[in-house]
Amino acid sequence: MESIRELAKEYVELCKQAEIRAEKIAQWIVKTCRPVIEDLEYSIKWAEKYQIGWTKCGIDTIYFYSNSRNFIASQTNKIIGNIAFVGLIEEIIPEIEFHIDTPMGLFLTKEEAEKIKKLLSKKLKK
């Protein structure tokens, strides 16, 4: 039987590994989608460093945002397009379904969604 200390050490190590992998996934998605959403970023900035997760999602969620498409903070409260970024990414990479979020709102036009779909699909084939 494992001791609580062994379990705690393993838990901390697995959290570190999850963060490393989430960072790689987030960077890959951002780099691939930037030709369409130039200011796409991931996670939130705390104390001048990016961290995976945020207070409402936790370590198992990668948070994406775009200042130019931030529905919550926009002056006009107009959504650019009607296709949710999260849904598009989860459609193309179903393995991360329920592990990404855009709490500030991030929507795409049909044309933008098609471009991103092509970029991601092409990169996945490599």
Residue type, 121: S
Q: Which amino acid is at 58?
A: G
Task: Answer whether residue 72 shows pLDDT above 90.
Answer: no
Beta strands in the chain (DSSP E): 40-42, 44-46, 49-51, 62-66, 83-84, 100-101, 107-108
Residues of the domain holding 98: 4-125
Question: Could you tell me what percent of the chain has a pLDDT over 90?
Answer: 44
The larger pLDDT score, comparing residue 79 to residue 5, is at: 5
Question: For residue range 84-112, what is the model confidence (pLDDT) as tens digits?
Answer: 999 999 999 999 999 898 877 888 889 99
CA–CA gap between residue 90 and residue 113 (Å, rounded): 12
Note whether 81 and 114 are within 8 A (CB): no
In the chain, how many domains are there? 1
Q: What does the alpha-carbon distance between residue 79 and residue 45 come to, in Å, rounded to a whole number?
A: 24
How remote is the C-alpha of 105 from its chain's centroid?
A: 12
pTM for the model = 0.81
**How high is the pLDDT of residue 91?**
95
Phi, psi angles (nearest 5°) of residue 102: -135, 75
| Per-residue confidence (pLDDT) for residue 63, from 0 to 100 | 86
At 32-51, the pLDDT tens digits run 999 999 999 987 443 334 45
Rg (CA), the chain: 16
Residue 28: the pLDDT is 97
